Copies of this chain bind each other. A is one copy, B any other.
Amino acid sequence: MTGVEGLIFRKACREDVPSLVALLADDPLGQAREGTDLAPYLAAFDAIAAQPMHQIIVGELKGRIVATCQLTLLHGLSRQGMTRALVEAVRTAPELRGLGIGAALMAEAEARARAAGAGIIQLTTDKTRHRAHAFYDRLGYVASHLGYKKPLV
């Protein structure tokens, strides 16, 4: 299925949360944003798991979680009521980059989004993530939009 032998994808389970947090934190931007207390992550996992529109996908290689993203299906009126798929929190283990794991993860997310009836898949990535930009360009994504954020707290 993927170019990486033994790589499988599945939905995350609660026991994966510590590994997922470690992956999120092992990142130039993530390391400043993530914490060591697991409680808020477990609470968020439970909230995600309670809503069928969300799924956290994990890529597992030889029993280790090496990639993850969150896929969310969004209903909306625009584009003739088109269902969108939103991808957030994409990570591949830094020491395993260049093997095709990230591309396989995105292909998995797209297949799941398509199977759920989504007509478009979208994501935002920080302007400073130049490697990520080249990655999404290669996979056929178009940077047609600007992504704005505003803290509420």
Contact = CB atoms under 8 A, between A and B. Distances in A.
Interface in A77-91: 77-86, 88-89
**Stoichiometry (number of copies):** 2
Nearest to A139: B150
Nearest to A89: B78
A147 B150 contact: no
A131 to B, nearest CB: 13
Contacts of A141: 148-150
A57 B45 CA distance: 28
A17 interface: yes
Given A120-B149, A139-B150, A141-B150, 4 more contacts: A41-B80, A86-B86, A124-B147, A142-B148
